[in-house]
Homo-oligomer: A and B are copies of this chain.
Amino acid sequence: MKTLSIKDIAVQANVSITTVSFIINGKAKEKSISEAVIEKVEKIIEESGYKPNQIARSLRTGNSNIIGLIIEDISNSFFSRIARLIEDKAYKRGYKIIYSSTENSVEKAKELINMFKSRKVDAYIISPIKGIEEDINMLLTDNKPVILFDRNLPDVDTNYVGADHFNASYQSIESFIKQGKKNIALVTTDIDVQQITERYEGYKKALEDNGIAYSDDLVVKVHFNQEEAETISQIKTLLESKKIDAVLFATNYLAISGLKVLKQINKKIGDDFAVIAYDDHEAFELHTPSISTVQQPLEEIAETVIKLILSQLSSKTKLENQQVIIPAKLIIRN
């Protein structure tokens, strides 16, 4: 069964292809097509189930109603939840999302950008990594809207939406200090992205402002792509060897590894040992005792990202770039 084309509709309705096209695209009035013809054509379209070929459409118009979403890893719950929200909101506005994961590989990220480019996606939502600045700048000179989220790139002049990582981290540490903690550790990763460094800076600043000396010994930076076993052993070394009374985990998967360590070495969270995890996770509320956490405002981030995209897509002129920093929320559980 050959799929229908606009031509088939035109022939059946005994009008020109142009007329059908105008009707499909809601330009019938403006192009003064008579009510009678409009109805006839619409009826035929309805009955035949004709759907325009989007590929042909894209080729002609140069756009696709598709937004490309590039994230680190869809199986990470932070990203999958935000992807779902973005997808949802975009969908309601008539846009579809194509997503792909970079796995923190510069090459894969570049390839993805190229793929999206040759598919003529209308706009890009990217949680970026260092090393793709040039590629992003090319998109910008192409006049494609680009929204970075979660992480910013200093050398790229575009829109950014993210949580206030510095303050969230700062407040977490302050809350430890208010509880009387003195030996506060940080477990973070060595990927060189802004949101991670901000969390680190917040940690340092909070210590400093409260007159506690910073010590390299209390900070573990696990290597990004390593096996979990390795991460666990690093964290174990930290927790076993030092007289630590509080730990901030800079990502949720680090916290999960950390909790596994605590279980192994049978160290209990309680009055003399506190934990906060960055990025919430279902496991944290359920844990006994419940784990305090920094919740990123997923809903607001998704909403802001989509709003920025849409305003750019609908505006003829280049809009001013925006940097939207949304406060994160420290949830103290116990």
Contact = CB atoms under 8 A, between A and B. Distances in A.
Contacts of A81: 75
A288 B51 CA distance: 54
Given A54-B119, A80-B74, A260 B285 contact: yes
Interface in A277-316: 281-283, 285-288
B51 A117 contact: yes
A59 B51 contact: no
B77 A1 contact: no
A55 interface: yes
A80 to B, nearest CB: 4
B286 A263 contact: yes
A96 B55 CA distance: 16
Interface string A178-200: 00000000000000000000000
A212 interface: no
A64 B64 CA distance: 14
Given A77-B75, A80-B75, A101-B84, A118 B54 contact: yes
Nearest to A256: B282
Interface string A60-100: 00001000000001110100110110011001000011111
Contacts of A14: none
Nearest to A3: B142
Contacts of A100: 87, 91, 96-97
Given A55-B55, A263-B288, A282-B283, A87 B101 contact: yes
Contact of A53 (B118, B285, B288): B118
Interface in A199-215: none
B51 A114 contact: yes
Size class of the A contact interface (CB-based, 8 Å): 35 or more
A334 interface: no
Interface string A101-119: 1000000000000110111
A32 interface: no
A120 interface: yes
Given A75-B83, A77-B77, A119-B55, A287 B285 contact: no
Contacts of A97: 100
Given A53-B120, A98-B98, A281-B283, 15 more contacts: A3-B142, A51-B118, A52-B118, A54-B115, A54-B119, A55-B59, A55-B118, A77-B80, A84-B101, A88-B101, A99-B99, A282-B282, A282-B283, A286-B287, A287-B287
